[in-house]
Amino acid sequence: MNALKKTIAGNLFGVICAAVAAAIMLSVPVEGSAWMVRGFLVIGATLAVLVLGSAWEPLSVVPAGVYGYAATFAFLFQTPDARTEERLLHLGRYNPLLAVAIAMVLGAVFGLISSRTAAALSKS
């Protein structure tokens, strides 16, 4: 159960860091190839916050945070029109913060169920 709590906390922290990064990139318009520099700086800063957050015990599983971060950006780039301020602030199913957070929590719970089921089957 402790691993489940840390996994979910790390996933959710990664989702929040990615949503903040996306919101910052959307609110700071740039022209030309400066978008790459802006992206490097914002993503680097938010990933630094994610790693520094691992000093706090509930967020100590850094890979879980990176999975949440990556899944959020995957959702942003595969979902049509997801990279807009309206979608980031909307409280519906297309909000990456909500959609990915729910998917991460469900995935962690299903992983626990799978692990316990495999352990129970291997005992019999």
Tens digits of residue pLDDT in 36-64: 899 999 999 999 999 999 999 999 999 99
How many domains does the structure of the chain reveal? 1
Q: Taking the chain, what is the end-to-end CA distance rounded to the nearest angstrom?
A: 23
The pLDDT assigned to 79 comes to 78
Q: Which is more confidently placed, 33 or 116?
A: 116
The pLDDT assigned to 28 comes to 86
Backbone phi and psi for residue 44, each to the nearest 5 degrees, phi listed first: -60, -45
Question: What gap in Å lies between CA 9 and CA 80, rounded to an integer?
Answer: 28
> Which residues span the domain enclosing 101?
2-123
Q: Is the pLDDT of residue 83 over 90?
A: no
Q: Cβ of 13: how many Cβ atoms within 10 Å?
A: 23
